[in-house]
Amino acid sequence: MTSIAPVRPSPIAGTWYEGNASALARRVDEYLDQAELPELPGEVVAVIAPHAGYTYSGPVAGYAFAAVRGRRVDLAVVVSPMHQPYAEPLLTSAHASYATPLGEVPLDKEALAALDAALQADLGQGLTPVAYDREHSLEIELPFLQRALEGDFKLLPLMLRAQSAQISQGVGAALAEVLRGRNFLLVASTDLSHFYCQAEAVAYDQEMLRRVEAFDPTAVFAAEVEGKGYACGLGALTAVLWAAQGLGADTVRVLRHATSGDVTGDNASVVGYGAAVVLKSR
């Protein structure tokens, strides 16, 4: 029987983002510094951020995390897709912490157990822990959290293979149940359209972001079914929107949109990236 190391080693440091701590901190801080935010009317309950390599999506992600810069939370909940071919619909880490060049982020095992119980009650299925996964879309958000947030925090990592509105809504309800009364931040990790030309990508992304900003997770899910907009983390995105609604949030503000073509100059086949915040009126 193979033992599981307590710390999940990063499979993407040095490729998707810098492997050196000082260089990584400098890069993330630059993205945070460059974000020009509007006035945000309320408390940030959740952020929506992309998950490509930092060269491509880092400037957009900086807008999402700049909105929580300097904040202290006890628990960061990162909900992402699972791109790897696991059979189970809802996954988490079997390790005790995630490692990035900026240090370790410990998991909140009590929160994970509570979420697993809530999911079992609401959906009849819980979380499957996986070890040594190579999923980038959850880890890519961690250095931003490590640089933007003040103080230490624990992590609740949740990766969705399921792309079902019913499951996504159930995950949202379970998250709201577990997080109510806690000092938390939700993070939805998703990119937008993939591999359309620039003009088509912008049109698809604008429609998807319009539905996100309308704070209508049912319509967000329908956009992909209707072929009007796309998000590779659709289940994660809508789960966070449903959770935020259950926790009293009432407004979504889109902060930034760009594509890989804006970085590379190749507009023939691009990936879209969006940043947004979910707010609760004070």
Residue 159 in any domain: the answer is yes
Residue 262 belongs to a domain with what CATH number?
3.40.830.10
Other C-beta atoms closer than 10 Å to the C-beta of 131 total 12
User: What pLDDT is attached to residue 282?
Assistant: 72
Residue 13 in any domain: the answer is no
User: What pLDDT is attached to residue 180?
Assistant: 97
Average pLDDT over residues 49-77: 98
- pLDDT tens digits, 214-273: 999 999 999 999 999 999 999 999 999 999 999 999 999 999 999 999 999 999 999 999
Residue 36 in any domain: the answer is yes
User: What pLDDT is attached to residue 163?
Assistant: 84
Check whether 3 has a pLDDT greater than 90: no
The boundaries of the domain holding residue 124 are 22-280
Residue 4 in any domain: the answer is no
Residue 6 in any domain: the answer is no
Residue 266 in any domain: the answer is yes
How many domains are contained in the chain?
1
User: What pLDDT is attached to residue 162?
Assistant: 83
Distance CA 33, CA 2 (A): 44
Residue 16 in any domain: the answer is no
Q: Is the pTM of the predicted complex or chain greater than 0.95?
A: yes
